[in-house]
Chain A
Amino acid sequence: MRTLLETLSIAPGVSGHEEGAADIFSALLTPYCEEIHRDALGNVIALGRGFDKNKKTIMIEAHTDKIGLMVRHITKDGFLLVTPIGGFDTKLLPATSVRIFGRRVLHGVICAIPPHIAHSDKAPEMETLCIDTGLSREKLSDIVRVGDVAEFETEFTNLQAHMVAASAMDDRAGLAVLASVMKTLSKEVLPVNVVAVASTQEEVGLRGAGVAAYTVNPYAAICIDVCHGKTPDANRNTFTMGGGPVITVGPNVQKCVSNALIRAAKANDIPYQIDVDSGDTGTDAWAVQVVRRGIYTGLLSLPLRYMHSGYEVLDVTDAEKTAALLCAFLRAFGGDEL
């Protein structure tokens, strides 16, 4: 699981530019799938082995894209001004290394004003931040154009015990779970067809997953995303790291699906946590649930600290437990329980 997480974490893929990560995800799944294709929006749709049209189809889904920055202007001195793609905390940005995806990949540093010159009690504003590529406007204009994107340049880091820190664990951890599940189940005969979907453009408004769900037209869908892990400055609406998958209950999922997930967890001694969400979960589950005439939808989330930073911290055992729960759910699925 750790290797899967690392491979997927370092793959590029800001929303709308998911090709790099989609290629890697497809390559990981190829040995375990009957067929893999890419749709018009860039979603990867991977059919599990032994497809049988008499069986119900279950879609398991996670999103490929990560948050990033988009170039909006190149100043006369060659600094790149940017606009956010997805939700950003500007406090995380000063003195951060980035990769810029122009005609070639460039290294850049987001500028910071040193304490000798200014100390502000306000968070920096996106409008005042710039990327330093060390190139003049003239040279830069040949490589980078307005509309090109940049993302955090951080390293996959092993912390103590089961914890890892890396960028885009939201939602590459979900993709790692899907890859692991497809590998495990490829050797088994299941009561259902399984289709794994790596969706695009989740971070900018759940734009890919609904389209993929329409194509796949599943009987039920389980979305895999991240939720917030407990930290000293966030106790409410946060979950225990290592406590196992978080099963969402609330209107965004059908109760029969969350109950089936809970039953599968109990039957297999897999620890789980419950997230009570009163409406929009902010995940692809929100888009998927209302596709066509409605899809039975469930949501599993992995606790994650520092979501949308360059170093998101994940407990690897939560990914393993989530994969185990998903496998158990699919093995036991008869369809009548929903």
Chain B
Amino acid sequence: MMLLKNLCDASGVSGHEEEVRALIAASLPDCETHVDIMGNLLCEKRGNGPKILFAAHMDEVGLLISGVDENGFLQFKIVGGINTDVLLGKKVYIGEKKIPGIVGVCAVHLQKKEARKSAVLPEDMYIDIGAANREEALSVVSLGDFAVFPPNFTQFGDNLVEAKAIDDRAGCALMIRLLHEKYDAHICCAFTAQEEVGTRGAQAAAEFFRPEYAVILESTFCSDIFPTEPQDFVTTLGKGIALPFMDRTSTPDKYLVSSLVLTAQTHNIPYQRKRSGRGGTDAGVISRAVEGIPTAILALPCRNLHSPSSVLCLDDYENTWKLLDAWLRTSAPSLIRR
């Protein structure tokens, strides 16, 4: 649990994955590691079985400071996909010094009638760090600094966790656990960079390893909340890992997916089908890398994805671990060699 907490609470907006990468590197067992040009952290534990690449991304959505006005308010651009309605009134930490700031919005009392009913555009938002003017702001913040949501890992309810960056630190945590085990398969793990800005890191990782198969450990949206109707839930929290069959970037390999499903069924591990074709993952570029790599996706359902308060069910997390472990012990060794 501490591993997951520390990973979620660490800062790593796309292109600034250093802190997360250092934390992961410090949590790894003895294995071959390499940091590539894209910033991916690549780890390998050789075995005699099929060469399987696991991938989870280190980066998270966030903000990039793009300007400072004369009164010391910061302008920003959004890195990755964030609905602006989760930004307003939230605290963020800016830069490596983690300067606290508040995403400001004109008080409701002063808003005109139409403004009260409309979403605020990102270009109309600003961050208030309490600086008196531009000069004071620039003494602690620089253009190009990234801003992240502050650490807030909290356990609540029936084994749920609220945190920022569950997407995809949960996947990273699972991969670290996996590297601590011993399997017959030749295990390659890619902690990838820049997934949230267009799955930029994963291609280089796939090229480096040239695996026979790839399994992406991701977090996916879960809309099983009021007032969504069940047909629009996409995934349901607490009902196990979700398997996509087609999404915006990839078509998971049928043979690999059925191997995973069979393992889940044999070991009575809950899983669910992802009921949507939306969303994209590192599977897109990895499945098309080298000469084509059969790829599957295991996606953890996550409420309020891409917000400061995403919600994960720890039962889903543990069951995913059980599935991965069981699959690597029983089914993976007998995958057809390519």
Contact = CB atoms under 8 A, between A and B. Distances in A.
Interface of A: 75, 77, 79, 81, 87-89, 91-92, 94-97, 106-124, 128, 130, 132-136, 139, 154-155, 157-165, 228, 230-234, 237-238, 242, 282, 305-311, 313
18 contacts: A79-B226, A89-B111, A107-B157, A109-B156, A109-B303, A114-B306, A134-B156, A154-B91, A160-B99, A165-B128, A228-B110, A231-B126, A232-B126, A233-B104, A234-B106, A305-B104, A307-B108, A309-B105
B110 A124 contact: no
Contacts of A306: 89, 102, 104-105, 107, 128
A78 to B, nearest CB: 9
A237 to B, nearest CB: 7
Contacts of A162: 130
B81 A92 contact: no
A164 B232 CA distance: 41
Contacts of B279: 116
A196 B81 CA distance: 50
Contact of A231 (B119, B128, B227, B304): B128
Given A119-B83, A133-B157, A159 B119 contact: no
A186 B128 CA distance: 37
A160 B106 contact: no
B140 A160 contact: yes
Contacts of A310: 89-90
Contact of A111 (B100, B109, B226): B226
Given A159-B128, A305-B128, A88 B108 contact: yes
Nearest to B159: A134
Given A79-B226, A234-B110, A310-B89, A114 B304 contact: yes
A89 B223 contact: no
B83 A160 contact: no
A45 B234 CA distance: 55
A37 B82 CA distance: 49
Nearest to A163: B130
A128 B227 CA distance: 6
B129 A159 contact: yes
B307 interface: yes
A206 to B, nearest CB: 15
Contacts of A94: 83, 85-86, 304, 307
A321 B257 CA distance: 67
Contact of B136 (A121, A122, A130, A160): A160
Contact of B309 (A109, A123, A128): A109
B102 to A, nearest CB: 4
Contacts of B307: 94-95, 112, 114
Interface in B61-103: 69, 71, 73, 81-83, 85-86, 88-91, 99-102
A112 B105 contact: no
A232 B73 contact: yes
B304 A111 contact: yes
A154 B89 CA distance: 10
Contacts of B99: 160
Nearest to B107: A307
Contacts of B160: 132, 134
B73 A95 contact: no
A123 B129 contact: no
The 3 A-B residue pairs with the shortest CB-CB distance, nearest first, are A134-B157, A163-B130, A159-B130
B224 interface: yes
A128 B226 CA distance: 7
A163 B102 CA distance: 11
A107 to B, nearest CB: 4
Nearest to B75: A232
Interface string B132-169: 10001100100000000000101011111010000000
A231 B106 contact: yes
B309 A234 contact: no
A139 B130 CA distance: 43
A102 B305 CA distance: 27
A313 B73 CA distance: 13
Interface string B171-191: 000000000000000000000
Contact of B88 (A77, A92, A238): A92
Contacts of B254: none
Contacts of B159: 134
Given A94-B307, A107-B162, A161-B132, A313 B102 contact: yes
Given A112-B307, A117-B278, A122-B118, A313 B128 contact: yes
B151 to A, nearest CB: 11
B190 to A, nearest CB: 23
A148 B307 CA distance: 26
A91 B132 contact: no
A255 B30 CA distance: 78
A162 B130 CA distance: 8
Contacts of B226: 75, 77, 79, 81, 111, 128, 130
A234 B73 CA distance: 13
B131 interface: yes
Contacts of A155: 91
B83 A107 contact: no
Nearest to A314: B130
B108 A308 contact: yes
A95 B154 CA distance: 14
Nearest to B223: A117
Interface in B253-280: 278-279
Contact of B158 (A75, A110, A130, A134): A134
A199 to B, nearest CB: 20
B139 to A, nearest CB: 9
B100 A161 contact: no
A68 to B, nearest CB: 15
B34 interface: no
B311 interface: yes
B223 A134 contact: no
Which of B109, B131, B158, B308 counts the most chain A CB atoms within 10 A? B109
B225 interface: yes
A234 B131 contact: no
A266 to B, nearest CB: 24
